[in-house]
Amino acid sequence: MKRQSGRPVTDPGTRAGSGTPAAEDGWKGTLALSYPPSGRDGYYTQMQHDFIGGFAVAAARKRYDLLLSPSGHAGDASFRRLLHERRVAGVIIMELRIEDDRVDALTEADLPFVTVGSNPRSERTSWVMLDFAAMAGGCVRYLADLGHRRIAFVNRPEALFRTGYEPAVSGLAGFTDTVAGLGLGGQAYPCEDDPAAGEACLEQILRDDPATTAIVTNNEAALDGLYLGLTRAGRSVPRDFSLVGVAAGRWAEQVDPKLTAADVPAREMSQTSVEVLVQRLASPDAPPQHVRLTSLLSVRASSGPCRLLPEAEPGLEDLESLEGLDDLGF
C-alpha cells in the first residue's frame, strides 16, 4: 500500500490528494493525534505547535500520515467521527486528564492507542509520560540549596487543572510535597497561558508575600509576563529573585536572562509515542509499554543565591528555620 507524506491530513473525509471518499481500509496508513488546543479563543499555543510538528515528523519517518483532531473528550464531534468511521489505524492522546473518557471510548472500540501521560486506568494501556512531579520537586530542591525559603509555584490555568489535566495536577503535587518535606514556605497560583496573565500572577504573588524570592513554573506561555512583572516590581533576576521552571529548551533560551529549567524533551516525547504506537499496531497482543521520561535541570542565568530584600528581613521564626543550614554546606 502506498502511503502519503507525513504532513497532517486536513480533510478527514477523503484520502489526501484523492478527492474521493476513503475506502474501508483507506486510513490504515494514518495515525490520529487527539490534541485539544489550550490557548485562548480555542487556538493552539506555540508549545503545542512544536509538539504537533514533532508528531508529524515522527509519523512520516514511520511512513504514516498524521490526522489532527482538536478533541479533548469522547463526545466531541471530531473524536466521534474518528472513532465511529475508523478513520485511522491508531490514536495518540495528548492533554490527558486524570479521568479521561477518550481512554474508555478507544478501549471499548478496540482501537489501538497510546497516551502521553498516565492516569489511574493507564496500567492496562500503553503510555509515554514526562514525570512533572519529579521535575517540579527537583526545581524546589535546587532553589532550597541556594538558600531560598519562600517559593511560589505558577501553574497552568485553573480550568485546565479542574479537568484533572495530568501535568498540572502532577506538577502541583511535586511542588507541594517537596516544599512541605523541606519545611519551606510556598504557595501555588493558577495562571492563564499568556504573558498578561503571567504579569498579573507575579503581582499577586508579591502582594500575598513580598518576601517571596523565587518562582517555580510549568507555564511556558506566561514566562514573558513573569519577567516583565519582576522588572516593574524592581526585582532583578537573578540578583533579587530566581526563576526556575519546567519548559522546552527553546522557550528557556528565548527569555532574558535565560531560564534555568528542566527542559521538556518535546522531540523525544513525540518520537517515542509514535514508536510505541507503531509497535502496538505490529504486535497487538503484546503487553502494554510504559515509558517514563524525565529531564535534568539545565542551569542557566535566571537563578542564583537567595538575597533577602529589606522588606523581607527574617523574623525569629525564619531564623529558627535556618539553623540547620550549616549541615547543607552554606
pLDDT tens-place string over residues 238-294: 999 999 999 988 889 999 999 999 998 989 999 999 999 999 999 999 999 999 998
Residue pLDDT, tens place only, 37-73: 987 778 898 888 989 999 999 999 999 999 999 999 9
Highest mean pLDDT among 13-22, 80-89, 136-145: 136-145
pLDDT of 17 reads 37
- Of residues 87 and 61, more confidence is placed in 61
Residue pLDDT, tens place only, 253-263: 999 999 999 99
**200, 305: one domain:** yes
**137, 251: one domain:** yes
pLDDT of 27 reads 74
**136, 126: one domain:** no
pLDDT of 1 reads 36
Is 13 a domain residue?
Answer: yes
> Cα–Cα distance between 260 and 244 in angstroms, integer?
5
18 has a pLDDT exceeding 60: no
**190, 96: one domain:** no
**142, 239: one domain:** yes
Is 221 a domain residue?
Answer: yes
Q: Which of 212, 210, 200, 197 is nearest to 143 (CA)?
A: 212
User: pTM for this one?
Assistant: 0.79
Across 149-184, b (16+ Cβ under 10 Å) vs e yields bbbbbbbbbeebbebebbbbbbbbebbbebbeebeb
Is 1 a domain residue?
Answer: no
Is 67 a domain residue?
Answer: yes
pLDDT of 11 reads 40
pLDDT of 205 reads 98
Domain that holds residue 198: 132-264+296-328
**199, 303: one domain:** yes
> How would you classify the pairing of strands 260-264 and 214-217?
unpaired
90 has a pLDDT exceeding 90: yes
**100, 159: one domain:** no
Number of domains in the chain: 2
In this prediction, residues 77-103 reach a mean pLDDT of 93
Looking at the chain, the number of H-run helices and the number of E-run strands are: 11, 13
**63, 45: one domain:** yes
**246, 303: one domain:** yes
pLDDT of 240 reads 97
**24, 125: one domain:** yes
**173, 306: one domain:** yes
- Of residues 13 and 151, more confidence is placed in 151
pLDDT of 119 reads 80
Positive or negative, the CA dihedral 223, 229, 231, 233 is negative
CATH number at residue 73: 3.40.50.2300
In this prediction, residues 191-197 reach a mean pLDDT of 93
**80, 139: one domain:** no
Q: What is the dihedral of CA 121, 86, 286, 57, to 10 degrees?
A: -90
